[in-house]
Amino acid sequence: MTITELMPFSVLVPLIAALVCALLPGRFWPWAVTLGACIAAAVIAAITLPAATDLTLSYAFGNWPPPIGIEYRVDAANAFVALLVAGMAAIALTWAKKSVDQEIPERQGTFYALFLLALAGLLGITLSGDAFNIFVFLEISSLATYGLIAHGRDRRALLASFRYLIMGTVGATFLLIGIGFLYIMTGTLNLADLAERVPEVRDTSTVRAALAFIIVGMGIKLALLPLHLWLPNAYTYAPSFVTVFLAGTATKVALYVMLRFVYTVFAPDWSFVVLPLSTVFMILGVAGMFVGSWVALFQPNIKRMLAYSSVAQVGYMVLGVSLASVIGLTAAFLHLFNHALMKTALFMAVGTVIYQVGSARISDFRGLGRTMPWTLTAFALAGLSIIGIPTTAGFVSKWYLIQAALEQGQWFLVVLILITSLMAVIYIWRVIEAAWFQERDPKQRQVGEAPLALLIPTWVLVALNFYFGLDTRLTVGGATAAAEALLGGGIMP
3-state DSSP assignment of residue 263? helix
Only segment of 166-174, 399-407, 409-417, 484-492 that touches other proteins (CB under 8 A): 166-174
In the list 176, 295, 317, 428, the residue contacting other proteins (rule: CB under 8 A) is 176
* DSSP code, position 67: T
Secondary structure E strands in 134-230? none
- Between the alpha carbon of residue 304 and those of residues 104, 128, 296, 423, the distances in Å are 21, 33, 8, 16
**Torsion angle (degrees, nearest 10) of CA 365, 370, 371, 376:** 60
What number of other Cβ atoms are within 10 A of residue 276's Cβ? 12
Q: What sign for the dihedral angle of Cα 136, 186, 129, 224? A: negative
Per DSSP, what are the bridge partners of residue 73?
58
Shortest Å, Cβ 177 to other proteins: 6
- The smaller minimum CB distance to other proteins, of residues 168 and 285, is found at 168
Shortest Å, Cβ 357 to other proteins: 14
Residues 104-143 that bind other proteins (CB under 8 A): 132, 135-136, 139, 143
Shortest Å, Cβ 246 to other proteins: 17
Shortest Å, Cβ 300 to other proteins: 6
User: Does 361 engage in binding with other proteins (CB under 8 A)?
Assistant: yes
Pairing verdict, β 71-74 and 57-60: antiparallel
Residues 245-274 that bind other proteins (CB under 8 A): none
- The smaller minimum CB distance to other proteins, of residues 162 and 411, is found at 162
In the list 18, 49, 89, 165, the residue contacting other proteins (rule: CB under 8 A) is 165
Q: What sign for the dihedral angle of Cα 463, 83, 471, 346? A: negative
287: phi then psi, degrees, rounded to nearest 5: -60, -40
- The smaller minimum CB distance to other proteins, of residues 130 and 484, is found at 130
In the list 177, 389, 447, 453, the residue contacting other proteins (rule: CB under 8 A) is 177
User: Does 209 engage in binding with other proteins (CB under 8 A)?
Assistant: no
User: Does 150 engage in binding with other proteins (CB under 8 A)?
Assistant: yes
- The smaller minimum CB distance to other proteins, of residues 174 and 263, is found at 174
- Between the alpha carbon of residue 41 and those of residues 35, 48, 81, 352, 464, the distances in Å are 10, 11, 13, 26, 20
Shortest Å, Cβ 136 to other proteins: 6
In the list 108, 161, 240, 309, the residue contacting other proteins (rule: CB under 8 A) is 161
Shortest Å, Cβ 147 to other proteins: 7
Number of residues near other proteins (by CB under 8 A): 28
Shortest Å, Cβ 454 to other proteins: 23
What is the CB-side half-sphere exposure of residue 385 using CA atoms within 13 A?
Answer: 30
CA distance 321 to 219: 13
3-state DSSP assignment of residue 449? coil
Confirm if 415 and 336 have CB atoms less than 8 A apart: no
Confirm if 434 and 365 have CB atoms less than 8 A apart: yes
Residues 292-321 that bind other proteins (CB under 8 A): 300-301
Residues that bind other proteins (CB under 8 A): 132, 135-136, 139, 143, 146-147, 150, 155-156, 158-159, 161-162, 165-166, 169-170, 173, 176-177, 180, 183-184, 189, 300-301, 361
